[in-house]
Amino acid sequence: MKRLGTGLVVVVVMVALTLAGAALAGATTYAGPQQWAQNQGAGSSFSSGWKYNYFFKNGSGHDSTVTFIDNVTYSWHATVRNTSSTTYTYWFASNVKRGHCRANSAYFWGSCAVVN
């Protein structure tokens, strides 16, 4: 019975994370929903249109980072690191860039998305 309860919680969290990402107009999910390992990262495609980058997590207390990486120097821009349930950043420059998210702690569910 405990296994069934855990499975149900995972399904509910995955649906909630998917709906949170879909609620953002113009959102493109580039990672997840999935369980994250410590130091695991993911990146979106490159675009000059990306303005916001989000990491949606199944609760607060999970350390993560979001940033934008430009396609010329591959430098990180507008980097944010925190333990909030949603970590986000924005960079309104017209540079070609990609969103990047990284889990700094392990064993939580989450997804990453960029928005025009």
Q: How far apart are CA 104 and CA 66, in angstroms?
A: 11
- Residue 102 in contact with residue 65, Cβ under 8 Å? yes
In the sheet that holds 64-70, the strands lie side by side as 41-43, 97-103, 64-70, 76-82
Reported as a single tens digit per residue, the pLDDT across 6-59 is 443 444 445 455 545 445 678 999 999 999 999 999 999 999 999 999 999 999
Which CATH number is correct for 2-115, 2.60.120.380, 3.40.50.1860, 3.40.50.980, 3.20.20.30? 2.60.120.380
Residue ranges of domains in the chain: 2-115
Mean pLDDT of the chain: 87
